[in-house]
Structure formats: C-alpha cells, structure tokens
Structure 1
Amino acid sequence: MKNLQQFAIGQRWLSDTESELGLGVLIDVDERAISILFPKSDETRVYARSNAPLSRIVFNIGDMIQDQEGFEWQVLSVEDRGGVMKYHAKRNDENGDEVIKDLNETRLGAHIQLSKPLERMLASQVDYKEWYDLRIQALLMQANMKRSPLRGLLGARVGLIPHQLYIANEVGTRLAPRVLLADEVGLGKTIEAGLIIHQQLKTGRSERVLILVPDSLQYQWMIEMRRRFNLPFSIFDLTRTASIKEHDPELNPFSTEQRIIASIDLMLDHPDLHEQAIEAGFDLLVVDEAHHLIWSEQEGGNDRYDLVEDFANKTAGVLLLTATPEQLGVESHFARLRLLDPQRFNDLDRFLAEEEQYQQTAKIAEVLMSDMPLEEGQLASLEQLLGHPIQDEPELRNRAIHELLDRHGTGRILFRNTREAIQGFPGRDCLPVPLPRPENWQTEGKLREQMWPEELQIDGAWMEHDPRVSWLMNALRHELKHKKVLLIARSGPVVESLESALRIHAGIRTAMFHEGMSLLERDQAAAYFAEDSYGAQILLCSEIGSEGRNFQFASDLVLFDLPANPDVLEQRIGRLDRIGQENRIQIHVPYIEGTAQERMFRWYNEGLNIFSQISPTAQTLQENFIVELKENLLADTPEFEPLLEQVNEQRLQLEAAMQEGRDRLLEYNSCRPQVAKRIVKALEDYEDNSLVPDFIKRFMSATNIDFDEQSNGTVIIRPTDQMQVQGLQLEEDGMTVTFYRDQAQTREDSQFLTLEHPFVESVMELINTQSFGSTNVALLKSNAIKAGTMLVEMWFKVDVIAPKVLNLGASLPKQLIRVLLTENGQDLSEKIASHILQPYTQHLDGNNARQVIKARREVIEARYAQALDMVKAQLPQIQEGAQQHYEKRWQKEIDRLNYLKQHNPSIRQDEVDRLVKHQQEGLGLLKQLSISPEAIRVLVSVNP
C-alpha cells in the first residue's frame, strides 16, 4: 500500500486524525477544498485541499481487499485510470471455485485494516522489541482513554479550577449545548468556553465551530484556543474571504475551514458573507461579549442581535458569553435566553412571573444549604415543589437541594459564578503615586493630548521631562527590587522607549510584550519574565498585554497610564487578579498632579471604586455619565467633586441591589462543589499516574527523535534526519514541552504534552494506521519452561466503525484481547499476564529471528488461526455486553431529562430526541463488531 497526493473523484482516502470513520471516498474536489464521504460512518467531511489530514489508500499486488458486500479479494494487478484505481482480483466462492473480477476502488468496503501482523511475520518483517512494547502500551492507553470520562478535559493548558471544570464537564458532554456563560470578570469564561469547545471536538459532538467576536478580540481568541487548547482556528477577515473568492468566485469561503473566528462587524458590513457563513453550516456557535446584543419587546433586536439570532436558529449548539447577564435589565437578560431557546423564552411577562416564583425557590434552597433548621412553612413549600415530603435530615436535605437544582428555572442554560461564591481571591490594594507637574505639561486641548502626551512623540523625547520615568527607575531599584513587576501602557512605542531606558540606563532586566512582536517573541518574553532566579524583573506590555495572558506569579502591577474604558482597566488588573493568585495585588498608579490624569484616577478610584475590587457597575455608570465625565476631564471644574459623590452613591445603590438579587441557588448550580471536587480529584489522580512521559520518551529514543531534557523540567524535542517514522505533528524547528500542568501554566513557551496533545495523538494515530511494532521475535529467559519451547502471543482489537460522537468504544467490555498459546495450542492467556513476561524477554537478532520464523512457519500460522477462532467465539458475549451497557448509559440520561421536563421547561424536546436517535443508531452499529489483529510475537524459551 502506498500514499499519493493527486485528487480525483472516486478515490479512497483515510482520515489521519479519525481513522475510526473507515475508508472514505472523494466525492467533490475544487481548487481549494475537497469533500470526503465516509459511507460506514455516514459522515461527510470538507477539508482544505492544501493541508487535508488524509492518506491516499492504494493497494498493491498480493494485498487483500474487501468489497462492499464483505467479500475478500486478493489483488492480482493494479491499473490507474485517471487517478482512480481498478483492481484485477481473485477470490474463492462458497464452493471453493476461483472467481476473478475487476473491482474499481469505488466498490471497496469502508473497513480497512492497515496492520497485518501475520503476513508481516511470515515475510520476516520483524520489528524491534521496544517497538512492539510501545505498540502494546499505546493500544492499552487508547483503550483506557476511550472509556475515560475525562476525555476532552485532559489536554487543556489550564489550572484545575473546580468551577471551570464543573461547567466544562456539565456543558461539554451535552449534545448540541445551548447555554449562557455569565461568570463575573476574572473567573475565566473564555477558558470555560475553550474547555467546552475542546471537549465537543475531542468527543465528536461538534466538528465545525464558528466563534463570533468584536474586532478587537479576534486575535486574542485565536491565541487562546491555540495556546491553551491546541486548537488551530482561522481568522476570517475581509482580506481572507476576498482572497478565497478571487481564486474561485463560486466557492463558499466558510466551507474551506472547520474552525473559524470572525468579527460580528464583518458580517454586519458584508451581508453576502453573513449568508455564506449561514449556508456553510456549523455545529457550534460561540458569541463573546453577548451583552452587546440588545432586544426589546417593543422594538425587537439591534443589528447584532438579529445577526446572532439568524445563526442561533440554524446552529445546533450555541454558547453566549457575558459578564453582565442582568446588569443591563431583565428584558435584555431575557433576550439572550430567547436566543438559546426561543420556544421556552417566548413571553417576557410569563418569564418575569416564573422568575418571581423561582426567587421563592431560591430562598428555600438557601435555607437548605445553610445549617438553619427548616420551619413548618418551608417544609410544606418544599413538599409542594418536589411532590413529596422530606424530613429535616442532612442526607435528605442534600438530596432536596439537588432536586431543586435540576428543576430550577434557568439553571440548566445559565451558569453564573461570582467571586463571592468562589472565593480564593487575596484582594488588591491601590498605591497612587502623585507626581509634580512639569512646567511644559499640556493642560489644555484635546483629551488625548492631555492624558497621553507621550504618544505624540514616537521618538521617545517625552521621557526627558516625564516624572513617571524617573519614578519607575527608582522604584525598580528600591522598593520593587526583588519583585516581579508587570507594567502595562497603551501603545507599543511607549513600551519600547521605556524598555530601552530601563535596560540601558538603569541596568534592569526587562522583557517586552507588544503587538509588533511575533508570537514566538512574545512567548520568549513571557518565559523570560516567568524565570524565577535569572528572569526579567519587569515585563512591559502594550494594551495587548491585558488580553489573553495571565501572570499570577507576579503581584505588582504598574499602570503607566490609564485607559479610557473601565472594562479595559479591569482587563489590565485581571492579568494578576485571577484565580490562582496567592498574594494581594499591589496596583501602582503614577499620575501627574493637577492634570486630566489625576482626574481620571480619581474618577476610577473615588467614583467607580475599580482599583479596590471588581466593579460590575463601572461600565454602565461611565456610559450614563460620559458627557459630564469628559467635561471634567478636559478642565478642572467645581462640578467634579459633586459628580464623584453622585456616581459613588449610585454605585453603592446598584451594588446593593445586585447583592440583594443574588440567586444563590443559581450560583450553587453553576458549580456543585462535591461534583467539581470529584472532577478535580480524578484529573489529579490521572496525572499523578500518567504513563505519557515515560511512553513518549521511550518512543522518541526508539525512533531517533532528538530530545533534550532541561534542568528546569522542560524537554526540547527536535526532528532528525535519522527519524524512523514520518507524519508526526512535529514542526521542523522542534518544540519545547513539559509533562507537568503547573509548569505549563507558568512557561508560555512550553507546550503541555498529554494524550490529547496533537503530537501525542499523531504518535497514537501512527500506531493505529501503520504496522509500527506489530511483529516481534524474542527470547524468553525462564527455568519454568523447557528450553527451545515456543510461545505465540497475539493481540486483537475489537472495534466498530461508527461516528465518533457515539463513543461506542466506551461500551465495549473488551477492546483488546490478548491470546498466549504454546506451540501445541495450550492456552496460557489467563495464567501468564503480559506484564509478568516483560522482565524476562530479550530481543532476538534479525538473522536468528528469521530462522525461527522459517522453521516454525506452519506452527505460527496454526496458532494464529486458533487464536482468531478463540477471539471470534467471544464476540457474541462482547456484543451483548456492549449493547446492554450502551442502552443503559443512554437510557439513564433520557429518563432523567424526560422526568425533569415535567418540572423544568428549559429541557428541550429536541435534546431528548437527539439522545434517543443516538441510542438507536449505536445499538444498531454494535451488531457489527469487527476484529482486527494488532500484533504478534513469537517467544522462544532459553535457560537464563
């Protein structure tokens, strides 16, 4: 069999990343994209032609092929007809008569077996012992992974934060989830969305994902998906779409990639692109900054709302992200829920009435979650809500809480964690640094010129008279000398000027981070800053430094200037004030006295109180008072003091109202502590016992991949000219990796290697689709077995070709079957486990191995046939067990949702119908189990 790279309709191709789909047929091809139909899985994939992860399948003379009726044929000759192969082949019919026939490759069956251990063994193609051992270990690891409930959660470069993992597990495991993620700022909504996307993709629940964001967030999302989740997304802007159309005016640009990030403004400004994106179709839609989607019962939606509604109506899964679910009013909150389930949320008045009822439910739940005894009236209300009486006992109270949570109004589609509920934030302190005003400082003119005069002198001349520069140098030499300091300013030129002055004139170790640097340069800067002993003392960032990167190991933040927007200011502070921060944040704010800078500082500090705590009302208040604010920033007026008092008073009132309206039942439902703890514990246990580090290092040693273990715990991996395997996800320049989660979070330049990392997945895929390590001849040093005795060890995989989303492998009681036979046919499979043999086996050199095979060929063939019969005899029992497990697993969730649907209208009927469909589809496919031989080893006993 060989690989080719010319596309023609009718050719057979295999997915490099989803071999479980079976053998696909090319059904459409154009200049940029190709479409592959996988008949066995009944799925069609569209790939970009330039980088399609596909292998062309062409069989050679002597190969065995299977037609669509399941008959096996031996290839006699091969003819290429315009890129599509015709095989001249033979087989014996049921009477034993030879049948010869021409088979076009379009008539081949979907099942394909690339590893043929027996044929390789009999042809004396013997692999190294280490390769054989690696193959078996990989197969066992993959089998365990298919059964693991942690699939999709392992590979993300994120901390094990309970509430994030709870939401990811709760939402990511759903079919076509439609939810609103509304955690407060700093709690990680983007990470939660990324975890859900990652899990949906890894489990096959989604294949095509569209992320719609404001222009300014496109790059941040692309970096976040790539860095944290190893998910490459393509940014589709006007240039990208125009380029695709230029090459092929008839091609839909959005069909050329599976994962796309696009700006909402792009769609609004270009209706044709909006229509094409809708036409291309996606499985999952993600919308960030959803609070900009405005709707009212009288006027309908704004243009953004209508656009997202159009997508939401045609996309099965929808994630909306906003930090202000109710801040803009109940009507706006209802509008976002309406996008998720228009049937359920179709009447605002009814929604308001239901919310009032759920407030009473939440109050009762709050008593349940406390240690307070339940009063008679509360017990009666609980009985009415639950439909059965309860006793005031701890276990029954806990059960009642969970029943209320399942039935709670928006609890299934709205997740909102608050800092107060999550806790674990050390707090932050504002350290103002008032500096005397230089004589030539501008105090009149445009606000931009007064606030940020340094941006007008890109040559850096402003530094000579700006007192903030000398203050910064002095602070870094003295009170901040032994601390890691993050500085954020508005623009790249300002950062470059400051960095040069600090490094050259003050001798301070610095690192820079701005939009003019490449991604690799930014990674290196962040890594240098993270170095404990010899790293940079200060990292100087432009505004991009307040997006997407977290530096919790530092606790001193210098705001060299102040942004005009409170949300941007909160983003800056949020680089340090996040989950995982162990120290109080020290916010240093230098400003020039008697200028717009001082007034802006006072506005943020005294009016909005944004330096001391997260201010959920800041953006709304600033928008409400924007006219008065601008007037007072431009000039020092007597109205400024009353304005600060008025804004502060309104802020306190709004925050009190929000606190009073806190839905603690919803907060509890957004992170059920016991469930979250179990998920975290399972991940910790898995990582503590992970076999990945040992496996990958052995694999690289065995295949001549260069790796260099560093003193800091990272590993540098590089390809070599002597590599014995091809097709791995390994860049030419190599990569720096770590196997440890904590290190991966602090070292931005290191990739986190897990079973779900593309490099490890490519190693596993190589083992699945190629003959790597499928044969071996070894010596068995044992006194218990007579010298010269031969044993044959064989491994078989029980598999079923099906869409990934069904995850049928998890229901198979056995995915791998090992058979160990003596040369006389005695079955030792149960008596001698594989790991028991391991210490006593030793590789046999090639010449002697070939002599053993030649001398015992007939015995090897006979034992293989015997083993195959033994495995086939187990299939009915395996099939029955798999069907029972699969039906029970899905039925449990179907029954649960049907029950909840009687009490909670947020359970959608289409969600239940989808579960039933998958259950029936899976049960049908489990009737078609197949067996594939994976490895064979001949062991020859010798005296130690």
Structure 2
Amino acid sequence: MQQFAIGQRWLSDTESELGLGVLIDVDERSVSILFPKSDETRVYARNNAPLSRIVFNVGDTILDQEGVEWTVEAVEERHDVLRYRAKRIDANGQDVVKDLNETRLGAHIQLSKPLERLLASQIDYKEWYDLRIQALLMQAQMKRSPLRGLLGARVGLIPHQLYIANEVGTRLAPRVLLADEVGLGKTIEAGLIIHQQLKTGRSERVLILVPDSLQYQWMIEMRRRFNLHFSLFDLTRTASIKEHDPELNPFLTEQLIIASIDLMLDHPDLHEQAIEAGFDLLVVDEAHHLMWNEEEGGNDRYNLVEDFANKTPGVLLLTATPEQLGVESHFARLRLLDQQRFNDLDQFLAEEEQYQQTAKIAEVLMSDLPLEAEQIQALEKLLGHAIEDEPEQRYRAIHELLDRHGTGRILFRNTREAIQGFPGRDCLPVALPRPEGWNISGKLREQMWPEEAQLDGAWMEHDPRVKWLMEILRKELKHKKVLLIARSGPVVEALENALRIHAGIRTAMFHEGMSLLERDQAAAYFAEEGYGAQILLCSEIGSEGRNFQFASDLILFDLPANPDVLEQRIGRLDRIGQQNRIQIHVPYVEGTAQERMFRWYNEALNIFSNISPAAQTLQENFIVELKDCLLADLPEKFEPLLEQVNEQRLQLEADLQQGRDRLLEYNSCRPQVAKRIIHALEEYEDNSLLPDFIKRFMASTNIDFDEQSNGTVIIRPTDHTQVQGLQLDEDGITATFYRDQAQIREDSQFLTLEHPFVESVMELINTQSFGSANVALLKSNAIKQGSILLELWFKVEVIAPKVLNVQASLPKQLIRVLLTENGQDLTEKVAAHILQPYIHHLDGNNSRQVIKARREIIEERYQQAFDLAKAKLPEISQEAQKQYQQRWQREIDRLNYLKQHNPSIRQDEIDRLEKLKQEGLAALDQVAITPEAIRVLVVVKAN
C-alpha cells in the first residue's frame, strides 16, 4: 500500500493536465489532493488511487512556486515528505543554495525524461513508442548520409547539376563561378548548393543579389523547389522596418534575403547596412553585368559586389557568358572570388595559354585515340611521373589533370553540346495582314504592344492574332498541350476569357494577380492528361521559375524587348527532359514594329533556332540603331544592320566554339561521380521508410491523411489532432513521396526527411516526450510468465557546432539495452525487429498497476542499463575520432598536394579545415548519452 502524508506531491495518472497536486487530507479510506494549477480538489479511494508520487533526483531541474528554476543537489526524506537541497545561478553569476520542501514546488510540471514519465504513469500508446524509435533510427541514418542537403530538393536527377551541387555544396565557404549555358539549370545548381549549405550548417545567413526582373523568379524557385522561404527586400519593406524601429538594421530581421542590386546602388545606406549585417553566403545572378578593366577599374555593379565579396566567406557568381564577351571581365569575376590568386591579368592570360595545351592533351586522353610519343612526354612533364598508354593509367591521368587544372576548382561550365539530350527547336512565324487603322507611327511601346493601352479588351475585336489563336487551337493544336506567354496579366485574362467562353477551349491562367496556390493549381490543371487544360496562358512571370517540359508547343503572343527574357520564355519548354522538338509559334502583324522585332531576333540574333550567348550583349551594343529601325520602316538601314549583327554573332560563336575547354567541361561533371550520386539517391528513395512512417504517424495522432488515386496525399489537421507544433497550415497540404510525381504536379509538395513538415515531426519527437514511455505485453513461452523485461534506448550526443558535422562520424548514434528483471542482458541475443511481432497493447489501468508494483526493479534495471550504455562510450568516441580524423585529413592532404600544382587552392581554406578538424576531435572526446525511450514488457503466455 502506498504511504500517504500531508504535503506530498502527487500526479493524477488519468488527468495529468491538472498539474502537480498536493496531498491535503488523508484517512483510512480516502486521500484528498488539491491541484493548484486548476484550483480543483479530488478525493480518491486510498486502496486504488490512480496517483503517482513525484520524486526528483540529483541533477533534475525543478520549479518553485514563483516559477524559478533550481537544480537538485541532494534529496532527503522527513516524516514521509521530501526536502530538496537546490541551487541556481543569480543575475550576478553567483551560486544561490536553498532548501525546498516538496510542498513549495510549483504546480506546473513537464516530465520529459523517459524514466520520470514512466514512474509517474505517463504512459504512451504502443504505436507512439514504435514511431519514436523508427524516427530516431531514420534520423541517425540521415546524419551519417552523404546525401544530406540533396534529398529534399524538388528537382530531377540530372547528372551535371547534382555533381556540381555535391562538389561545391560540401565545401566550407565555397567561392565559385557557375557558368553553364542557358537552359542547363544554374539556378537549380545554386539552389542545391544553398540548400546543402543550410542543412549541414555550413551557412546560416544567405543573401541573393539579382536584377529587379529576377527577384520574384528566385523567390518562387527557392520556395517551390527547395522549401527555402527567402524574404524579398525592396524599398517598401526596408522603409517599413525602419519606420517601426529606426535603429534596427533591416537586414538583421531575416536570415534568407533576396534583394535587387539596383536597390543597393540607389540607396547606399541600405548597401552599408547589408554589409554590416553580415552573411555567410552571397549569390549574385547575371554576373556578366559586372564589368571591369585594368585602366578604369570596375563599374558600379562590380564595385558593389566586390564590397560584399570581401566581407562574405562564401560567394556564388552565376553567368551564362563567362569569357567570350571579354577576357578582362572574366578575369575580374574570378578576381572577386580570390584576389590573391587572380591579381595579375597578364599572368592569367599566360596561364590560360598553358591550360589550352593541357586541354588538348586531355582531349586525346578522353578519346579512343592512341597517345603519341610527344603527348606522353608532355603529359609526364605535367604530372611529374611516368605514364603508359593503357586504360587504367589514362583514367587516372585525366583525374590528376582535372584536379590541377587552372580554374577547374573555381569555374564550372557545362554546355549543351557536352550534356546533349536537347531535341532542338523550330520557329513557325505567322505573318498576319495589318488591319486598317493599325498604329505604325506612334511610340515604340504603342506599336509593339497596342493591346496594353486598352484595358477594357476592346483591342480584341480588330487584332488578327486573336482569330488566328482560336483557329490554331481548334485545328492544328487541338490534341496538344500549348503554352502561351504574353507580357501582361490583363492581356492574358482577356485572351483566356475569349478562348473559354467563345471558343469552348479548356484553359488555365497564370499571372501576377494570382496567389501562389492559385498558380500551382493552374499549373497542375495544365499538367493533367485527358481532362486537363489544353492551353496555359501566362503573363511574363510565366517564363520565370516554371518548367513545362511535357509540352512542346509555345505561342509567343507578343515579343519582349529583351533577348534574355525571350530566351527565358523559350526555356520553359526547351530544357533537359524535353522529349520533342520545340515548336515556337510567332504571330506578328505585317509591316509593323512587331515584324521588324521578329526579324531582328530571327535573322540577326538567331534566337528562335538556337541559344546565342552573345545575343544580349549584341543588342546592347546596337540598341540605338535598332530602336530607330523599329520605330519606322527604314529598309535601307535595317537590312544592313541585320547582316552586320548576324556576322558579328557568327564570329563570336565561332570563337567560343574554338575556345571550348573540354577539360573544364569534364571537370564540371565527372560522369562516374555523378552516376554514383544518382544511384545513391535512387537507392535511398526506393528503400525509404518515410511513406509508411508518415501514414502511421498521421493515423495515431488524428491528423487526416487522404490518399488520392493520382499518387498524391492530402494531409489536414483535425479538431482532435493530438500533437501541436507541426508545420501544417489549417488548410493542409497536398503532397507526394515520389520525385517524378512532384515534378509533374506543381501543386504537390515533395515529402522527404528534409521537407519542413517532416522536419517538424522529427523536431516534435526530439524535443517532446512523444512515445518515450510505454508498457506492453510480450507473448513468449521462452521467458518466465509474469516477469518483466526493460528495453531502453539512449542517444549518443556530442555538443559541437553544426558546421563540424561530428554526428556523421559516430559509428553508433543510438544504443539499445534489453534487460530481464533479474539483470540478464539480452541486447545482443534479441534484436528489436525480432521482438516486435510478439509485443501487444496493454491497457492503461493494468500498465499503471505494473509500474507501481515493480517500481524498485524498474529503477534498478534502468541504472544498470544506463551504466552498460555509458561503458560503450570510450570505444564509440575512439572510433568516431579515427573516422573524423581520416575524413578531414584526406581532404587537407589532397588540397596541400594540389596547391603545389594549382594556385587556385586557397591557403585560408586549408587553414580553416585544419582548425575545424581539431575542434571536431576535441568535441568527440566528450561523447555523452541521453535517455530517449523506455518500455516495460510484461511476459505472458503465447497462444
């Protein structure tokens, strides 16, 4: 029988929400408990009161009635009431010691340690316990996985993108130039690197600087593909922050920020505040606009980025035109990444010539052609050792050259020719007769886009493009998916209304006036086969951040003024994964600025048939002459202009092709390495336990989980949801566990261990007591009936900065101990998965009776299990230090060796690796364990 005394603290087994109660009266038959937290009194029968005595041990944290935290240093019992000797540190850093009777404890209580909860009869469902253990095992596997940061992105498994992400994303403070050709996914590569840096703790604060027109595209791309919620900082937002608190640096209010370069240039105070705020990683898109030469230095954009690059450890520069439009500016961009390495232009040019010779030798190595004697001699001189012309030695020689090659570690450039897999594109111009009264003499905007001046839609009555559009959709394109892009939202709305109402065509819209959810739904409707939309009509933002490779017909209802924007439009379809040749339909009105703009893009820049990396620069160089010819029909000027620009374009493209560096391209995607990454990702996803785990978690916590026939699931909270703190909107989410499905359906989120919702589930399990204490039945004839077994799980922990990633070196991150009630250790004999089929539910009342009857045995076995687990720590620590040392030293040795041949290896990078290695080894010397879960198994006879 339990010993009751006035002043003792008890917890209700059936109503733990009442808080910590104090015993105020006791007689032979009953006990009365006052629960101050809820101001209620309960009277219980003394013989079977559903109460658990609360006893704190040395080292536990307790709260007094004023809510002050104390740490227990000693416990003694006086007249059946406990007195705690407790200590805390005051505001001056001084130790304060106090004796606290248990009567002075606060009523609020949160038992988090598994043993405390078990002894207080706070017993969880069997399913919750099982889910906790599965979650801990999945997290342990993830912490050791080299795929961290790559799993969670909603991207295709494209070799060159994953190779670059893995190569750069794993570096500390990476400083590189991403220079893939248009359409190969530089934004995705940058996103993967950012995601990996954030997930592994290498970066925490990221600033993306882009032109005004690309801010929204970057924000959407980061959110949709990587679940990274960047804040867009414009003048309105920064002014609002300053208005609220003039002293606050606005750039300290968020960790992930996208801002316009023009905002910084126009407002030097914001530029200074952004630099003062400090970032771990800087990303700059359209870096070819950063111009520099030896005589005059840099332009304003270059100087601004240089300020940031000098103060930011990691820098990613993105450009599709690395060097063909000026060697000086190319050198200057490399100079932003490493001023010590790239400080002399003449020396850089001399090295480039030497690297061209190296590339020629590498070209032969990568071919099936035999090596000539002089090539072998030159190769041996480069490598510093003898080589024979056999496959294995050729392969090793290639990789040695790649490691040492000039800008190979700093510059990554993949080309369409090297990547392949692009079916090509065809331009289908449609010349339409000019209606009477068509404006051919007004301002250029009025001539090019007259529809934008009539917001009421009156323009549709006489615009020949509207009738043509209806006819081609009804006939030639009737059974095809069609993407239409126009400049503005009102034009798209007017066209969609006409097509849907007057032509009976299934349509979807996509413009800036719609919410993100509406846009995702529209894109998903367009992607649906069968009854989905035939045509998706987009405003200009439709060419930003969305890809529709499943369609191959593109209608350019109008033409943009900028060739880069035009390429972005075409690039929504002309991307990796496209199976058909792109059909680009270009309607224009004859004898107008529309026709002349089409001819400029088609005949001078050849932008419809092929990507021209020189297009943007050529247009900027001839913009004055072009505007004159667009404004008025001047064939005597326009025809020579088209011919002149076309000749310059062909020469620039020929120079680029001649200067292709195969060694650099190979270094930008080593096929064997990329193949291993993809295989590892596919194997991980094929064997993932996440779908089963999430389904079970939803069912056991009363969260609605509705599986759809199209491979997606809808997850919604309910009024009876049993857990709090999950990242789940009231409206829920539509999601899928399958990568292919996530890429097709824009409205579905891709659920992985790195998705915010799944991370919030794991965080709940890590920080709360979910499933940490359980009592269950074990049906077995091999163990004495009525006896108990104790199963405990301990987490191996190391306190260290996230950037050190010490957890990845731990050979064991979880320790399981299984003991009989007399202390026999069955851990190695009976694995958890073997035991699982024989474990069954035990109701709450019987569970509480077991705990009360076997309390002393449970406490003894718990201490034994703790000691057994702790005894394993020295061996775990030693093995972890060995693995950690080897992993870091391998990279340090490699960089030291390469530095002798490749000056692009920075000494500060090597020094930092050495410093972090020592910090990690010191942290792994202090390995500890924390209890994660405890289960009492009551043995009963098997059927």
* TM-score (normalised: structure 1): 0.90
Q: Give the secondary-structure state (helix, strand or coil) at the position aligned to 2:369.
A: coil
Shift of 1:132: 0.4
Shift of 1:637: 2.6
Q: Give the secondary-structure state (helix, strand or coil) at the position aligned to 1:928.
A: coil
CA distance in 2, matches of 1:453, 1:63: 81
CA distance in 2, matches of 1:88, 1:278: 43
CA distance in 2, matches of 1:203, 1:404: 30
The aligned residue for residue 683 of structure 1 is: 681
Out of 169, 172, 177, which is 2:169 matched to? 172
Report Cα offsets for 1:671-712 as digits up to 9, x if no partner.
Answer: 001101111111111111111111111101000111211111
CA distance in 2, matches of 1:183, 1:62: 64
The aligned residue for residue 849 of structure 1 is: 847
The aligned residue for residue 44 of structure 2 is: none
Out of 74, 83, 99, which is 1:91 matched to? 74
The aligned residue for residue 233 of structure 2 is: 236
Shift of 1:859: 1.6
The answer as to 2:227 corresponding to 1:209 is no
Shift of 1:567: 0.9
Out of 921, 932, 935, which is 1:934 matched to? 932
The aligned residue for residue 319 of structure 1 is: 316
The aligned residue for residue 419 of structure 1 is: 416
Q: Give the secondary-structure state (helix, strand or coil) at the position aligned to 1:867.
A: helix
Q: Give the secondary-structure state (helix, strand or coil) at the position aligned to 1:508.
A: coil
The aligned residue for residue 336 of structure 1 is: 333
Matches within 5 A, 1:525-544: 525-544=522-541
Q: Give the secondary-structure state (helix, strand or coil) at the position aligned to 2:635.
A: coil
Out of 459, 462, 466, which is 2:463 matched to? 466
Matches within 5 A, 1:374-385: 374-385=371-382
Note the residue ranges of structure 1 that are not aligned, 5 or more in a row.
Answer: 1-60, 66-70
Q: Give the secondary-structure state (helix, strand or coil) at the position aligned to 1:79.
A: coil
Q: Give the secondary-structure state (helix, strand or coil) at the position aligned to 1:570.
A: helix
CA distance in 2, matches of 1:316, 1:383: 37
Amino acid at match of 1:314: K
CA distance in 1, matches of 2:282, 2:493: 38
Q: Which is further off, 170-179 or 487-496?
A: 487-496
Shift of 1:643: 2.5
The answer as to 2:260 corresponding to 1:273 is no
CA distance in 2, matches of 1:108, 1:361: 68
The 8 Å contact of residues 178 and 317 in structure 1, kept in 2 or not, is answered as: yes
Shift of 1:86: 4.9
Matches within 5 A, 1:559-638: 559-638=556-635
The answer as to 2:132 corresponding to 1:149 is no
CA distance in 2, matches of 1:162, 1:563: 32
CA 1:673–1:605: 2 relative to 1, 3 Å: same
Amino acid at match of 1:801: I
Q: Give the secondary-structure state (helix, strand or coil) at the position aligned to 1:516.
A: coil
Matches within 5 A, 1:110-149: 115-149=112-146
The aligned residue for residue 692 of structure 1 is: 690
The aligned residue for residue 442 of structure 1 is: 439
The aligned residue for residue 665 of structure 1 is: 663
Shift of 1:107: 6.7
Amino acid at match of 2:540: E
The 8 Å contact of residues 72 and 84 in structure 2, kept in 1 or not, is answered as: no
Q: Give the secondary-structure state (helix, strand or coil) at the position aligned to 2:536.
A: strand
Report Cα offsets for 1:330-371 as digits up to 9, x if no partner.
Answer: 000000000000010011000000111101001101110011
Amino acid at match of 1:938: V
Report Cα offsets for 1:635-680 as digits up to 9, x if no partner.
Answer: 3333233332222222222111110000110000000011011111
The 8 Å contact of residues 76 and 90 in structure 1, kept in 2 or not, is answered as: no
CA distance in 2, matches of 1:828, 1:207: 44
Q: Give the secondary-structure state (helix, strand or coil) at the position aligned to 2:209.
A: strand
The aligned residue for residue 64 of structure 2 is: 77
The 8 Å contact of residues 146 and 809 in structure 1, kept in 2 or not, is answered as: yes
The answer as to 2:481 corresponding to 1:519 is no
CA distance in 1, matches of 2:799, 2:382: 46
Amino acid at match of 2:529: D
The 8 Å contact of residues 729 and 762 in structure 1, kept in 2 or not, is answered as: yes
Amino acid at match of 2:884: Y
CA 1:98–1:476: 2 relative to 1, 3 Å: closer
Shift of 1:73: 5.1
CA distance in 2, matches of 1:88, 1:847: 33
Amino acid at match of 1:381: A
Shift of 1:75: 3.0
Cα RMSD of the aligned pairs, angstroms, is 1.8
Report Cα offsets for 1:148-193 as digits up to 9, x if no partner.
Answer: 0000000011111110000000000000000000110000111100
Q: Give the secondary-structure state (helix, strand or coil) at the position aligned to 2:283.
A: strand
Report Cα offsets for 1:586-637 as digits up to 9, x if no partner.
Answer: 1111111222212221221122111111111211222222222222222333
Q: Which is further off, 712-721 or 482-491?
A: 712-721
Out of 700, 706, 709, which is 1:708 matched to? 706
Shift of 1:76: 6.7
The 8 Å contact of residues 77 and 88 in structure 1, kept in 2 or not, is answered as: no
The 8 Å contact of residues 59 and 72 in structure 2, kept in 1 or not, is answered as: no
The 8 Å contact of residues 121 and 853 in structure 1, kept in 2 or not, is answered as: yes
Q: Which is further off, 776-785 or 225-234?
A: 776-785
The 8 Å contact of residues 88 and 103 in structure 1, kept in 2 or not, is answered as: no
Q: Give the secondary-structure state (helix, strand or coil) at the position aligned to 2:872.
A: helix
CA distance in 2, matches of 1:873, 1:605: 75
The answer as to 2:179 corresponding to 1:182 is yes
The aligned residue for residue 247 of structure 1 is: 244
Q: Give the secondary-structure state (helix, strand or coil) at the position aligned to 1:512.
A: strand
CA 1:798–1:706: 2 relative to 1, 3 Å: same
CA distance in 1, matches of 2:759, 2:69: 33
The 8 Å contact of residues 54 and 120 in structure 2, kept in 1 or not, is answered as: no
The 8 Å contact of residues 61 and 69 in structure 2, kept in 1 or not, is answered as: no
Q: Give the secondary-structure state (helix, strand or coil) at the position aligned to 1:561.
A: coil
Aligned residues: 869
Shift of 1:62: 6.6
Amino acid at match of 2:607: I
Percent sequence identity over aligned pairs: 84
CA 1:74–1:692: 2 relative to 1, 3 Å: closer
CA 1:503–1:107: 2 relative to 1, 3 Å: farther
The answer as to 2:499 corresponding to 1:502 is yes
CA distance in 2, matches of 1:463, 1:241: 41
Q: Which is further off, 823-832 or 358-367?
A: 823-832
The aligned residue for residue 919 of structure 2 is: 921
Out of 157, 162, 179, which is 1:160 matched to? 157
The aligned residue for residue 349 of structure 2 is: 352
CA distance in 2, matches of 1:76, 1:720: 34
Note the residue ranges of structure 2 that are not aligned, 5 or more in a row.
Answer: 1-52, 77-82, 96-109
CA distance in 2, matches of 1:276, 1:108: 38
CA distance in 2, matches of 1:843, 1:62: 26
CA distance in 1, matches of 2:796, 2:93: 25
Shift of 1:448: 1.7
CA distance in 1, matches of 2:699, 2:820: 32
Q: Give the secondary-structure state (helix, strand or coil) at the position aligned to 2:925.
A: helix
Q: Give the secondary-structure state (helix, strand or coil) at the position aligned to 1:72.
A: coil
Out of 721, 733, 736, which is 1:735 matched to? 733
Out of 219, 235, 258, which is 2:255 matched to? 258
CA distance in 2, matches of 1:106, 1:214: 51
CA distance in 2, matches of 1:98, 1:137: 37
The aligned residue for residue 305 of structure 2 is: 308
* TM-score (normalised: structure 2): 0.90
Shift of 1:538: 0.4
Shift of 1:123: 1.2
Q: Give the secondary-structure state (helix, strand or coil) at the position aligned to 1:221.
A: helix
Q: Which entry has the higher C-alpha Rg, 1 or 2? A: 2
The aligned residue for residue 749 of structure 1 is: 747
The aligned residue for residue 198 of structure 1 is: 195
Matches within 5 A, 1:287-306: 287-306=284-303
Shift of 1:92: 6.7
The 8 Å contact of residues 63 and 74 in structure 1, kept in 2 or not, is answered as: no
Q: Give the secondary-structure state (helix, strand or coil) at the position aligned to 1:410.
A: coil
Shift of 1:106: 9.0
The aligned residue for residue 788 of structure 1 is: 786
